[in-house]
């Protein structure tokens, strides 16, 4: 199959300056904590790859919507400076969590019902049955709470009381609420209900604050694509952040279609993507149009990394085919093995926490592996090389952290078989 990598821009043989724009997922975590997490995980990656790395102090811009800092990393024979920009939308998420229960819980349940009635749930099962099971998880918690509420409402009658159902309703509602809050909180019920409320709100165009933030991110990407000496630009969308990354990039292409032609080599990398969570909803026409726009721009390389053990991503799903776009061009699909990235003890601990396993896409590796978030962001190997040959992402580095591209072994890797159509 022909290579999906664009040929218009000259690719560097080694990266010395890189710009990264990261769109995180739906996580109730302040942007300041994201910075601290990056600093912590950068240290883990540095130990794994025998390199030195340091993150500078954060800088806030665009009214708090962007937090940026400089990361400097080096090995024995290479040095990279990364302009790292975190595109924050934690304030939008905080708005969801600030809703009182009497409003948030019905909204979340309505979102789950919406997914079912529109047939979106069946599309999940069609394209990735694991994601379908993930959808059923909060639905099962709601059903469990409803069952306990029903049982509680029947207690007065079993005790011989002749109370009408309207008088027993407050008891049923109280039990329903208690189960959703505890043990529901331990089972992440409120988090997932808020998450689905947000996703369906985006699909149906009910989130003007989301649209406003996408406009801000369009401007940030335009600024990030300025040809100011960086060797490449990488836009990363993790989880639901893939939706924001694609929509912001497509918005920029619509407003300034010629900008990419003069920009440094540009890669969109979606990791643990929930793009189809929104895109498969029949009302998500804007997102499907955005995916089409990005796919049609052949100067943009699109790498999609997913893991079979991550129930929150759509494993090896081609958005062109899944969304019925008919563009005839797909992202390069790569498989990530979480176990290969982590030590056995960490993997055994994390695999029982599906959110932590999902978050590993943007965390530091404990083992050298072809997928490594921080080597993508801070390493000397260009994205073109990573896309072209998985094994080189490991083989090109010596035990002491030296970058030795000539020593890379040319061998196949079935785990990383690509799907490309151009």
Residue-range domain boundaries for the chain:
17-92+207-416, 99-200
Cis peptide before 157 (omega within 30 of 0): no
Note whether 395 and 407 are within 8 A (CB): yes
Which pLDDT score is estimated for 407? Answer: 63
Q: How confident is the model over 24-70, as pLDDT tens digits? A: 999 999 999 999 999 999 999 999 999 999 999 999 999 999 999 99
Residue 237 pLDDT > 80? yes
- Please report which confidence band the pLDDT of residue 408 belongs to, taking 50, 70 and 90 as the band edges: low
- Please report which confidence band the pLDDT of residue 73 belongs to, taking 50, 70 and 90 as the band edges: very high
- Please report which confidence band the pLDDT of residue 333 belongs to, taking 50, 70 and 90 as the band edges: very high
The larger pLDDT score, comparing residue 6 to residue 156, is at 156
Taking the C-alpha atoms of residue 324 and residue 95, their distance in angstroms, rounded to an integer, is 34
Architecture of domain 17-92+207-416 in CATH?
A: 3-Layer(aba) Sandwich (3.40)
- Please report which confidence band the pLDDT of residue 303 belongs to, taking 50, 70 and 90 as the band edges: very high
Q: How confident is the model over 358-381, as pLDDT tens digits? A: 999 999 999 999 999 999 999 999
Mean pLDDT, range 111-133, rounded to an integer: 98
Question: CA–CA distance from 188 to each of 137, 184, 210, 277, 382 (Å)?
Answer: 10, 6, 23, 18, 39
The larger pLDDT score, comparing residue 227 to residue 378, is at 378
- Please report which confidence band the pLDDT of residue 299 belongs to, taking 50, 70 and 90 as the band edges: very high
Which pLDDT score is estimated for 162? Answer: 65
- Please report which confidence band the pLDDT of residue 97 belongs to, taking 50, 70 and 90 as the band edges: very high
Backbone angles phi, psi at 409, to 5 degrees: -80, 130
- Please report which confidence band the pLDDT of residue 345 belongs to, taking 50, 70 and 90 as the band edges: very high
Which pLDDT score is estimated for 160? Answer: 65
| pLDDT cut 90: percent of the chain above it | 83
Residue 154 pLDDT > 90? no
Mean pLDDT, range 254-281, rounded to an integer: 96
Cβ partners under 8 Å of residue 398, min gap 6 = 76, 404, 407
- Tokens 């948030």, located at residue: 104
Q: What angle do CA 275, 279, 281 make, to 5 degrees?
A: 135
Taking the C-alpha atoms of residue 243 and residue 245, their distance in angstroms, rounded to an integer, is 6
- Please report which confidence band the pLDDT of residue 416 belongs to, taking 50, 70 and 90 as the band edges: very low
Report the chain's mean pLDDT, rounded to a whole number.
92
Residue 410 pLDDT > 90? no
- Please report which confidence band the pLDDT of residue 319 belongs to, taking 50, 70 and 90 as the band edges: very high
- Please report which confidence band the pLDDT of residue 168 belongs to, taking 50, 70 and 90 as the band edges: confident
Mean pLDDT, range 232-256, rounded to an integer: 98
How many CA atoms lie less than 13 Å away from 25 in the CB half-sphere? 25
């Amino acid at each position: 199959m022909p290579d999906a990598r664009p040929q218009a821009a000259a690719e560097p043989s080694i990266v010395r300056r890189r710009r990264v724009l990261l769109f995180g997922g739906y996580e109730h975590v302040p942007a300041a904590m994201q910075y601290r997490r990056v600093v912590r995980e950068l240290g883990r990656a540095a130990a794994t790859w025998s390199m030195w790395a340091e993150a500078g102090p954060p800088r806030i811009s665009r009214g708090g919507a962007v937090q940026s800092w400089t990361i400097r990393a080096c090995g024995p024979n290479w040095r990279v400076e990364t302009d790292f920009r975190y595109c924050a939308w934690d304030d939008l998420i905080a708005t969801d969590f600030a809703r009182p229960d009497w409003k948030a819980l019905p909204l979340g349940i309505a979102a789950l019902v919406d997914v079912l009635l529109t047939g979106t749930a069946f599309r999940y099962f069609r394209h990735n049955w694991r994601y379908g099971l993930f959808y059923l998880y909060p639905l099962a918690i709601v059903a469990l709470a409803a069952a306990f509420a029903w049982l509680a409402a029947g207690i007065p009658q079993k005790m011989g009381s002749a109370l009408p159902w309207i008088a027993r309703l407050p008891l049923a509602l109280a039990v329903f609420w208690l189960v959703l809050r505890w043990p529901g909180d331990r089972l992440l019920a409120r988090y997932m209900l808020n998450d689905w409320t947000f996703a369906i709100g985006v699909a149906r165009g009910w989130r003007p604050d989301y649209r406003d933030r996408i406009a801000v991110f369009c401007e940030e990407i335009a600024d990030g694509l300025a040809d100011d000496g960086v060797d490449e630009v990488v836009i990363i969308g993790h989880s639901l952040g893939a939706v924001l990354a694609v929509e912001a990039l497509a918005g920029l292409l619509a407003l300034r279609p010629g900008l990419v032609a003069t920009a440094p080599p540009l890669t969109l990398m979606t990791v643990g993507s929930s793009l189809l969570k929104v895109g498969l909803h029949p009302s998500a026409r804007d997102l499907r149009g955005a995916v089409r726009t990005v796919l049609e721009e052949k100067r943009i390389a699109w790498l999609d990394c997913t893991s079979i053990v991550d129930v929150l991503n759509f494993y090896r799903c081609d958005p062109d085919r899944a969304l019925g776009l008919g563009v005839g061009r797909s992202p390069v699909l790569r498989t990530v093995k979480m176990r290969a990235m982590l030590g056995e003890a960490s993997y055994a601990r994390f695999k029982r926490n599906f959110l932590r396993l999902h978050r590993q896409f943007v965390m530091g590796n404990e083992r050298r592996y072809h997928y490594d978030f921080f080597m993508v962001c801070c390493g000397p190997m260009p994205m073109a090389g990573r896309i072209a040959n998985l094994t080189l992402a490991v083989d090109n580095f010596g035990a002491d952290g030296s970058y030795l591209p000539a020593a890379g072994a040319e061998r196949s890797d079935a785990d990383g078989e690509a799907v490309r159509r151009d």
